[in-house]
Amino acid sequence: MTDSDLHLDIVETRGPLAVAAVRGEMDLHTTADFYPRATALIDDHPHVILDLSGITFCDSSGLNTLLRLRRHADENGGRLTLAAPTDRVMHILRLTGIDTVFPLYADVTEARAAQPPRPS
Amino acid sequence: MDWSGSDREAGGWRMLSGLLADSHLMPMESLPARACESAAFAGFPHVLIYLGDLQQQVLRLLTGEGVRAEDHLAQLPVQGSVAGRAFQHGQILPAGPAEEEGRDWWVPLLDGTERMGVLRVTSVHDDDRAREGMERLASLLALILHSRRESSDVLARAERVKPLNVAAEMQWKLMPPRVYADGRVVIAAVMEPAYQISGDAFDYATDGPLVHLSIFDAMGHDTAAGLSANLAVAACRRTRRQGGGLVACGEAVEAELIGQYDRRRYVTGILATLDTRNGMLSWVNRGHHPPVIIRDSRWATHLRCPPAHPMGTGLGLESRVCHEQLQPGDRVVFYTDGIIEAGGAGDAQFGLERFTDFLIRHHADGLPVPETLRRVIHAVLDYHDHRLQDDATVLFCQWLGPRPDLTEEAADLVGLPEPGRPAAAEQDRSTP
């Protein structure tokens, strides 16, 4: 593994909910490998909180990956929540208007608190 | 040879009419020789055509029948040569001392206002009338060259010093000339890396009193990004030409992209229209950097307009048309990521402020607008050691006023050598 890889570290899973941390650069090259790993997580746990605090770079392909994952979660009856975006990620989310389409929280604790109650 | 005033008048006419007659059925390869033959009637025994490359870094000799590269200077740098200075500043400049046969001059070659290259013209006379004749010859040759652009690989090859990628091959065909001006507006654009474009494109068009302006940035750095950009420009033009407004253009682009790529690819962009009668700029932001306005060479500000989602994502945010009242002389600058963003993690950004400062400074220096943009884009390239992470595009539009026929300011801004206007070489004409 090199520094330019994009990691998906699963922090916690609880029923349909998973919390995962994204770490590294999100661009065309890194997201190709990342996307199937993330969809596999969503398949098992459709309510996913992504902790974005470890993203050091994000371009249009990175943003597109987040949008595709959002759709994948929707199609599986779940929801993709973003937490703790870095300034850089927040900038690109705002610039594109996409900050308004994601549930977006300052940190993971807030994001977790906002999750719908677990189905019994 | 003796030249009376009426001989010269007749010779000038014969030069232009001969080239016009030839132009219908002349292959590109014959133009260099034919240009010489016709120009000789007007007292210009030698003419060489030099064309700028896509990055406008070098001027290259157009060879053909009777004009071989090994007999002449085949390539000249734009920076640091007299030919390059003529090209940069739009001035007719002496290419050497007066010889027995006459004197050589560098003459800018402008298609409309787009800088194609320069001519090297030997003139037996050295006066205003000769300069007027050279300028007319250059105007006509530029029109002929332009008319062959779509059908000549010789011309296409002359414009490139290295291979293009497929997207660049598509985009340079797609986009309008990099400079346009009339009495109402000056429009100029640059795009780098010129030989390796991915998903950027710009477009503009005049439409009665309206000027449409748009810039697009398709996600990704592959050929599909180039395809998305082409789709976006074509869908937008089609809608506009059927009378659709800015919101409709954005929606048409979105529909085409979703149809082709099912929300796997998107394009951000600004779609704008300037009403040159009153200076009202209307624009829609589809997830892109808002344009910057530069006023009075002092003040630069980002316009604000809530973005709708990038075209092709189908996220359903509402597009809003925003308006900005311009003042005569205001410059609107549209740009893409590559202009301001870092080359990669850890690199320093070129930055928006550095970019606008550069524009303001060179404008104050009185450089022609296309030359300012050429320099700013090369500054961006140098800053990133010629390794751009992303396409860098600038589309620039200066609103001058409502009158298309008041062209003096536009001519100054684009660097148009004016026949009869004392040439810059006036002062050093006596020095051999």
CATH classification of the domain holding B267: 3.60.40.10
Residues B83 and B195 in one domain: no
Helix (H) / strand (E) element for B290: namely none
* Residue A60 in this model has a pLDDT that exceeds 50: yes
Instruction: Summarize the confidence of residues B383-412 as an average pLDDT.
Output: 91
Residue A117 lies in a domain: no
- Select the more confidently predicted residue: B412 or B341: B412
Any residues with CB less than 8 A from the CB of B243 and at least 6 apart, and which? Answer: none
CA distance B334 to B336: 7
Which residue, of B140, B158, B176, is where some domain finishes? B158
Task: State residue B347's pLDDT score.
Answer: 55
- Select the more confidently predicted residue: B359 or B59: B59
Task: State residue B419's pLDDT score.
Answer: 61
Whether omega for the bond prior to residue B306 falls within 30 degrees of 0, making it cis, is no
Range of the domain at B346: 166-414
Residues B267 and B287 in one domain: yes
Residues B211 and B62 in one domain: no
Give strand ranges (E) for A1-120.
6-14, 17-26, 47-58, 79-83, 104-105
- pLDDT tens, residue by residue, B206-229: 999 999 999 999 998 889 999 999
* Residue B423 in this model has a pLDDT that exceeds 50: no
- pLDDT tens, residue by residue, B261-293: 999 999 999 999 999 999 999 999 999 999 999
| Residue indicated by tokens 């302006």 | B213
Instruction: Summarize the confidence of residues A48-58 as an average pLDDT.
Output: 94
- Select the more confidently predicted residue: B346 or B68: B68
* Residue B2 in this model has a pLDDT that exceeds 80: no
Residues B145 and B185 in one domain: no
Highest mean pLDDT among A29-33, B301-305, B401-405: B401-405
- pLDDT tens, residue by residue, B309-333: 999 999 999 999 999 999 999 999 9
Residue B334 lies in a domain: yes
> CA nearest B116: which of B127, B103, B107?
B107
Task: State residue B398's pLDDT score.
Answer: 97
Residue A20 lies in a domain: yes
In this structure, the strands spanning B93-94 and B267-275 are unpaired
Task: State residue B432's pLDDT score.
Answer: 35
Question: In the β-sheet with A17-26, what is the strand arrangement from edge to edge?
Answer: A6-14, A17-26, A47-58, A79-83, A104-105
Residues B99 and B209 in one domain: no
Of B220, B307, B308, the CB nearest to A60: B220
CA distance A21 to A11: 7
* Residue B75 in this model has a pLDDT that exceeds 90: yes
- Residue B202 burial (C-beta neighbours within 10 Å; 0-12, 13-18, 19+): buried
CATH number at residue B83: 3.30.450.40
Chain A / chain B CB contacts < 8 angstroms: 62
pLDDT classification of B305: cutoffs 50, 70, 90 = very high
Range of the domain at A34: 6-112
Considering only CB atoms, which chain B residues are within 8 Å of A96?
268, 287-288, 307, 309-310
Count: domains in chain A: 1
* Residue B425 in this model has a pLDDT that exceeds 70: no
Give chain B's mean pLDDT.
91
CA distance A32 to A86: 22
pLDDT classification of A11: cutoffs 50, 70, 90 = very high
Any residues with CB less than 8 A from the CB of B57 and at least 6 apart, and which? Answer: B77, B78, B79, B161, B378
Residues B83 and B178 in one domain: no
CATH number at residue A73: 3.30.750.24
Residues 17-36 of A with CB under 8 A from B: 25, 28
Residue B345 lies in a domain: yes
Q: A27 near A57, Cβ under 8 Å?
A: yes
Considering only CB atoms, which chain A residues are within 8 Å of B288?
95-96
Task: State residue A67's pLDDT score.
Answer: 95
Question: In the β-sheet with B292-295, what is the strand arrangement from edge to edge?
Answer: B179-181, B185-192, B392-399, B331-335, B292-295, B299-302
CA–CA min distance A90, chain B (Å): 13
Residue A11 lies in a domain: yes
Determine the length of chain A.
120
User: What does the radius of gyration of chain A's CA atoms come to, in whole angstroms?
Assistant: 13
Residues B260 and B144 in one domain: no
Task: State residue A119's pLDDT score.
Answer: 55
Instruction: Summarize the confidence of residues B75-92 as an average pLDDT.
Output: 96
Task: State residue B394's pLDDT score.
Answer: 95
Phi first, then psi: what are they for B391, rounded to 5°? -60, 145
Residue B131 lies in a domain: yes
Residues B75 and B180 in one domain: no
CA–CA min distance B265, chain A (Å): 7
Report yes or no: A97 at the B interface, CB cutoff 8 Å: yes
CA distance A32 to A61: 9
Which residue, of B111, B126, B158, is where some domain finishes? B158
- Select the more confidently predicted residue: B188 or B382: B188
